[in-house]
Amino acid sequence: MRPVLLSGGSGTRLWPLSREAYPKQFLPLVGEQTMLQATWERVGPLSGQAPIVVANESHRFLVAEQLRQVGAPVPRILLEPVGRNTAPAIAVAAMQALADGDDPLLLVLPSDHVVANVDAFRAAVREASPAAAGGALVTFGIVPTMPETGFGYIEADGAANGVRHVKRFVEKPDSATAQRYLDAGGYYWNSGMFLFRASRVLEELARFRPDVVAACRSAFDSAKRDGDFVRLEADAFAACPSDSIDYAVMERTDAAMVLPVDIGWNDVGSWSALWDVTERDAQGNAHHGDVIAVDSRNSYAYATKLVALVGVDDLVVVDTDDAVLVARKDKVQQVKDVVAQLKAAQRTQVALHREVHRPWGSYDSVDVGDGFQVKRIKVKPGASLSLQSHAHRAEHWIVVRGVARVTRNDDVYDLRANESTYIPIGAKHRLENPGTQMLELIEVQSGAYLGEDDIVRYDDVYGRTGNGA
């Protein structure tokens, strides 16, 4: 059995914590691990095989780094130049599995869901395996606990226990219909988790959507292999129709089966869902960080600095370095309207956090003024920024932790904590961390233009070239 982790989401329903460049699956929203890491840990012991991850090209270093941190076997990371929904993502994952010389069962999992009962989840996977091995396309249906209108439902054929044939898939119901489903039994939430053989899902997809398979085949066969990364060929993948595996295959195939599961599942699809899965105090408050609450109930607060709540009920307050959200818990679906407004205005808060992650570490713009900017820069042990120059800004670097190896034109020298240097406008320079601990330094930029695009790269160990951050 081979895990397939779908990490293509750039969800903004948890904005401002989730941003396009660093979305939900990479955040430790519940517990200390990120959701991607928790997804791997849930499935790793079942399989022993390296996961296949399908991710957005811009998230490649996050995926690799986060899975490395939890000791996962080196994954195959299939990089989508654009998102095309789950049918193409699963198709290329299946092609990769077959290309690796085997025809394993694929355990397909979104990488941004919570499963509270991991034992029950693993037991369900084992229970579904014989059917999948026999050629069925098994989906895991969540036993509903309330008349939820935010999910699609799967109606099972017959009331027996265990893996059953699917009678039909139904769209998100209205609340009366959802109540009827709950009362009737035999209806399950569509969780987006699947178990099927690689060849079988490709076979069925080819029956119903040969165009999808053809486009994926072309993108996969022309992919560039680059270390762990498999870069799907951009034009072919972009030409692939966008479709979900549900529409493309599961709703049409006779091989669809469902295993009802009760595993403490939550898709964490909104701030109120996150409140649902977070431990709460006697007043119903779920608080993260430095929060003082007076006369307040049933609220979720995420604080990066001091947040004080006074007399508020059923509220979501999320404080980040560059944006604060305050929303009524029953109106959090409208967070998407805020994100849409920000996107229309080309505000940075849609895509980036103030702290921006790079393959070599991160930078955080801690102060900005007219003609200057102050950044805190972290460089991982052994990492190196590109050899670069700037046309419009000079930089002062003050090391506050670790060792910096500085290249400035023809000179190379090391700086330790409390030492500084100066990079004039136009100087070719490089920053490296030759040490074994994190390097931290303060950079003061000075110049008429301070945009990230004022950079010429001469050499980059991460394969990035030319202009642009």
Chain residues in the site for a copy of itself (CB under 8 A):
16, 292, 294-295, 303, 305-312, 315, 317, 319, 321-328, 330-332, 334-335, 337-338, 341-342, 347, 349, 364, 366-367, 369-372, 374, 376, 394, 396, 398, 400-401, 417-418, 420, 422, 440, 442, 444, 446
> Could you tell me the smallest distance in angstroms from the CB atom of residue 275 to a copy of itself?
14
Are the C-beta atoms of 401 and 438 separated by less than 8 Å?
yes
The residue among 103 and 321 lying less far from a copy of itself, judged by its C-beta, is 321
The residue among 178 and 303 lying less far from a copy of itself, judged by its C-beta, is 303
> Could you tell me the smallest distance in angstroms from the CB atom of residue 375 to a copy of itself?
9
Q: CB within 8 A of 458, min separation 6: which ones?
A: 386, 387, 388, 389, 428
CA dist list (Å): 107 to 121, 122, 257, 339: 12, 11, 14, 33
CA dist list (Å): 345 to 320, 325, 338, 352, 366: 20, 17, 11, 14, 23
The residue among 326 and 412 lying less far from a copy of itself, judged by its C-beta, is 326
Instruction: For the sheet with 411-415, list strands across it.
Output: 411-415, 404-408, 429-432, 387-389, 456-459
The residue among 292 and 412 lying less far from a copy of itself, judged by its C-beta, is 292
- If we measure between CA atoms, which residue out of 323, 189, 354, 264 comes closest to residue 30? 264
> Could you tell me the smallest distance in angstroms from the CB atom of residue 452 to a copy of itself?
19
Distance of CA 434 to the CA centre of its chain: 30
> Could you tell me the smallest distance in angstroms from the CB atom of residue 362 to a copy of itself?
13
> Could you tell me the smallest distance in angstroms from the CB atom of residue 56 to a copy of itself?
24
Are the C-beta atoms of 89 and 79 separated by less than 8 Å?
no
At 369, phi and psi to the nearest 5? Answer: -140, -175
The residue among 129 and 333 lying less far from a copy of itself, judged by its C-beta, is 333
Residue type, 201: V
> Could you tell me the smallest distance in angstroms from the CB atom of residue 281 to a copy of itself?
16
Q: Does the CA dihedral 94-99-104-107 come out positive or negative?
A: negative
* Residue 189 tokens, joined: 């939430």
> Could you tell me the smallest distance in angstroms from the CB atom of residue 308 to a copy of itself?
5
The residue among 35 and 350 lying less far from a copy of itself, judged by its C-beta, is 350
The residue among 337 and 414 lying less far from a copy of itself, judged by its C-beta, is 337
> Could you tell me the smallest distance in angstroms from the CB atom of residue 370 to a copy of itself?
7
The residue among 33 and 333 lying less far from a copy of itself, judged by its C-beta, is 333
> Could you tell me the smallest distance in angstroms from the CB atom of residue 321 to a copy of itself?
8
Give the Cα separation of 378 and 131 in Å (integer): 49
The residue among 327 and 356 lying less far from a copy of itself, judged by its C-beta, is 327
Kindly state the DSSP code that residue 110 receives in the 8-state scheme. Answer: E
Q: Does the CA dihedral 26-32-37-40 come out positive or negative?
A: negative
